[in-house]
Structure 1
Amino acid sequence: MIVENKEFHSRICVDALENAKSVFSPLSSEEKQLLLEQMIAHEFKKGEVIYRVGEKPDGVLYLVHGKAKIAKAGIGGREQIVRMAGVHSFIGYRALFAEEESYASATTLEETFLVQLPFETVVSVIRSNSDFALALLKSFATDLRFAENRTVTLTQKHIRGRLAESLLLLHKEYGVGDDEQTLQVLLSREDVAKFSNMTPSNAIRTLSAFAQEGVIALEGRAIKILNIDELERISRLG
């Protein structure tokens, strides 16, 4: 849903461009103004679908606030979460640049705000600003490296190693709360399983085992990382 409040709409768009962590930081004032004039801010409630498999991408999507899961259905319709997206990240860009239909779906994990930019405008700025082009390539290359590493680990690591790695990735992507332990994302056990390439029952058993070993603590959907060094060791051992 497009953000209708003009002041709030403007604030979201400015946040996308002006944040120090934003890939748009290399842009000149004139280029930022060009994007601002064509940028559309969207609001999604928790659990809403941003785009679906088979849809044709309609512009560049940049997540400003919130979280989303990128998932693809496999054999027998079994869903696999291939990526967790956080603030200041692009989603749905592969299909857009490849001029293909979306191969995966994106669903919000909490209230989320993103901006949409016309593809032609972004391409125009890429051609005129090499620093922005390099920043964009670096962002995409980082995502590609993640996908390559994830493919190997999800097929070669054992259950404990896969789950430990997933928790570390969530820690890296979303961070922790003021207690410096609680992951700042609430996932169902089913989503934890889908992100770790295992069944929900295996995810529940392994999480419980980690809790008994004092590596993590479970409070409903909240997960606390109590011993990150041990979690990293389990992940390395596979």
Structure 2
Amino acid sequence: MSINGLFPMDKWNFKSHSILEDLPLDEAKPITEHMHDQPCHKGEIIFREGAVPSGIFFIRKGKVKKYKIDTQGGEQIIYIANTGELIGYHALLSEERYPDSASVLEDSIIAFVPKEDFLQVLNNSKVLSQRLLKLLSHEFTVLANSVTFFARRSVRERLATQLVVMREKYKENYEPGMDVEINLSRDDLASMAGTARENVVRILKEFKEDGSIETRGRKIIVKDVHKLLKIADQ
């Protein structure tokens, strides 16, 4: 079922997929001419926190997690980027090192755009500059919403919300009535919900028992999104 009108998905998405759409051909040419596609396997690192950026990355197909490592070596997932989204541009724009890491969640195709080409288009394109400014403003809102949400909600509420968000991100060629399989490890779900793996396993079992979800191996299928939305208090 659709969650339009039931869940504010815009509060959880960065919308970077729209930045390069329909740019004037002469402005987009430096990017498209030198964009290099690279098949990436599940688990492959795209960039690491602290590295110097040499360009940006466009997700042709697949999913990528952005995350930070804490002082104990634990992983905190900041965002799941989907097909059509850009990653790695924050560090390039600020002329700083990467503030986080990115790795592939599933076999994907990632296009690399060299720093010089992206900046050339950005400097010459009013359209791209305006879109990027709007995107960065929106991202601030998303991150502020996430911080507030994590501070005020229980683990159960956070996990229910993340399952609703991931259900939307894993929709491919979706038609009403189709099952949507969320293919994430329990460790990744724990990182997203800010809790221990054991808590995720326990709460997923509870969700399964009340009919909110089904599981097929590690895959999760949301069967009653209304129940999850009620738990999430959205």
Taking structure 2 as the reference length, what is the TM-score of the superposition? Answer: 0.85
Letter in 1 for 2:202: R
**Partner residue in 1 for 2:142:** 146
1:155: how far off? 2.2
Q: 1:220 aligns with which of 214, 217, 220?
A: 217
User: Identity across aligned pairs (percent)?
Assistant: 29
User: What's the offset of the Cα at 1:98?
Assistant: 1.2
**Counterpart-to-counterpart distance in 2, 1:138 and 1:212:** 43
CA drift of 1:114 comes to 1.6
Q: Which amino acid aligns with 1:86?
A: N
Match among 52, 74, 78 for residue 82 of structure 1: 78
8 Å contact kept, 1:214–1:226: yes
1:180 and 2:204 matched: no
Shift of 1:22: 4.4
* Counterpart in the other structure of 2:9: none
What do residues 32-83 of structure 1 show as CA deviations (whole Å, max 9, x unaligned)? 3332222222221111111112111110211111111111112312111111
Instruction: Identify which of 161, 165, 184 aligns with 2:157.
Output: 161
Is 2:214–2:220's contact at 8 Å kept on the other side of the alignment?
yes
Match of 1:3 in 2: none
Q: Return the letter of the residue paired with 1:116.
A: F
Report the CA distance between 1:108 and its aligned residue.
Answer: 0.5
Give the counterpart of 1:211 among 208, 211, 234.
208
In the alignment of these two chains, the number of paired residues is 216
TM-score computed with the length of structure 1 as normaliser? 0.83
Partner of residue 123 from structure 1, selected from 104, 119, 129:
119
- Name the counterpart of 1:10: none
Q: Is the 8 A contact 1:26 1:131 kept in 2?
A: no
Shift of 1:89: 0.9
- Structure with the greater relative contact order (CA < 8 A, sep ≥ 6): 1 or 2? 2
Q: Considering fraction of residues, name the structure with more helix.
A: 1
Partner of 2:102: 106
* Mapped contact 1:182–1:222 kept (Cα < 8 A): no
2:137 & 2:167 partners in 1: Cα distance? 21
